[in-house]
Structure 1
Amino acid sequence: MVGIVGSADERQRLRFDEFSESYALFVGRASKKIDKVGLLAIYSKVVCNRFALKDGNQNIIGVGLYPNLCRIGHSCRPTGAVVFHERTAIVVPTRSKSFPSPLDWSLISRSYPDVDPISAIETRKDKLKSEYFIDCHCELCEDAAANETMEAFACSKSSCLGRVAIVDGAFVCGKCGKEFDENARNQAYQSLQRIDSLFDPEYSQRSLKDQLHCILDCMHFTQTILHKYNIKRLTVLKAAYDGCVLEKRPKEAINFGRQSLEIYRHYLDEFDPFLAAFTLNLATTYMHAGELDTASQLMHSIIDRCEHIYAKQSEALNYIDPSFEEVLAKLSLGDMGL
């Protein structure tokens, strides 16, 4: 383990000074002479090497230290993921069913907790710098095209499927070279403002029905402005999907879930645990909508994948065990209160 003490900036050191003073007051006067640099070294080792503890749906429920796994480096486009079988942490490949043999640890990487690989490069780098004390130069961070796509707009030329990026203040399509006119630029800025407004603290105080109305309105306004793989578009789609599920509107939820899944598949590898979890979620939504054939196809398509990721005994497989046909049969008979 390596604690990168020297990389802590002044703000981080001040924050840690406050913590160490509080720690000294808590444990007693004798500890007021603690070695702050030494304590920071320990702290940074924990920060840089911690693993997110996740449940079967890939929700973070805590953090832990696993010394043998700390040799795995970070990447925003990782080749592996850490999953948990009960209390055991296991590294599984995300790009294929197995790692190359013989095993080369230098080729195995993972993403860090709380650093979403499907986020803007500035967001990822700032998070990694402030939380993990590193300047990331991984495969994804060096992939200019991928990072541009994440924040791209759709070309205003209907026959062109190119992505529009902001170049020296101008909105230019990388495929056909067409520039946005003033009206298109204004719509682009408005679309971003509308999406950002969905995360305003006051917005969360509204009723679920009102929130969903705003989300769907935003979705309608931005659908022809943002590129199909724009991550802000994914944010709105996922919010619309979750809202429709909570409001028990499965038919509409399916539409947004299907589009979300397409974007997840674009950015995540085939055996990524989050992709498997979301696919399972969408399959159950299809079941609740009564589209049993599609639900069955989705579930069958990921049985092997989920067994590979989570192991056959995992609770994550409850929805897709061999008896799930019985669940589908019950749904078709209305035995599950739908």
Structure 2
Amino acid sequence: MEKPSAPAVAKFDNITLRELLDEVQPVFAKTKKSWRPRGGAESSAYTRNAIERVFAPLLDKTVEALTAEEIAVVANGYKPVRPLKGKTSANGQVSRALSYLSPVLDWAAHRGRKFGKIGAGRPTRLDVAELRRIHDPASDDPTIKGKRERVLTAEELAAIVPLLRYPAPEKIRRRNMLPKNDYGPAAMRFLLLTLARREEVANARWRDFDFLNGVWTKPEVKDTKGEGRSQRLPLSQAALDLLKVLPGYSKEDGSAFVFPNRDGGKLDNWNRIAEHIQKGSKTCDWTRHDLRRTGATLLNELQVPIQTVEEILDHTDRSAKTGASGSAGHYMVVTRIMNDTEDPKVVALTKLSTALDHIVATVKPSNPA
């Protein structure tokens, strides 16, 4: 009679989660800036920092032995070392860490459309957990998701607006970033003065601006129906003056970003920019989109017609309603030269910049620095 065979024992590669991160970082850093060290060889990448903070208890464990359930327990039990002021949970940090770790494991497992092709994933495939089954704590956190109605107070604006300039004030200087290379605060001010979207400001290039007529032609973007559209927005003098103090204004490089990152590429890390401004202004719990909403609210309080506000926000297409061709915007330059009256959008945006100046000059910040 044969002896019963011993139960099969799973064989794991002994690579730990920390070692897997060591492997993947130079691979992902080739195409993802968030995986590149921020301050030289001795520093670490933003994405890796997020993963290591949240999943610290798992870093030295064999990655193939980790189950989705074990990872979920650590994620749900995470408590931040330095809680953000005004936040009652770490759901946002956990959500980001999960989103950063998931493609790492997919790369190791040759999983998904991106890494499922031969040669796209790790040289040797690992049998690792899939994180898509783990509940994202931010999905039902009302402080992160859902419709925001946050509008900054006059006292908050009085503290924030003076910091939104170029070069970046020393008070909000970012580590390993010279003020002359930090366009983030100025980009925030331009967003507030134009009520533009974040991506519109980040993608703005010098060739998009007609300074003779004061018009910004935004690059074409996809709308909710997947159709292309663009907007030609006349600017206030305050917005034009802001652009003219930037170094790129005097250079003849139309393809350069107006608000570049320190490497000359597209501005990113908007959350970090906001965090430094919040720290310097002693404010909290606002986003760049809240600035846009606050500006629109100010225009409503200033009795600007709702149609004009919607046109500035680019929520409507007036030419579509009237049956005019979408090419009608090309005649904006001519009409601005020939008309005796100013464009109502310019009048509205000028009122906005004047109101902001008045708030800064007359309102005392609630949390003076």
Give the TM bin, normalised by the shorter chain.
under 0.3
TM-score, scaled to structure 1: 0.25
**Greater length-normalized contact order (CA 8 Å, ≥ 6 residues apart):** 2
Choose 1 or 2 for highest CA Rg. Answer: 2
State TM-score, norm by structure 2. Answer: 0.23
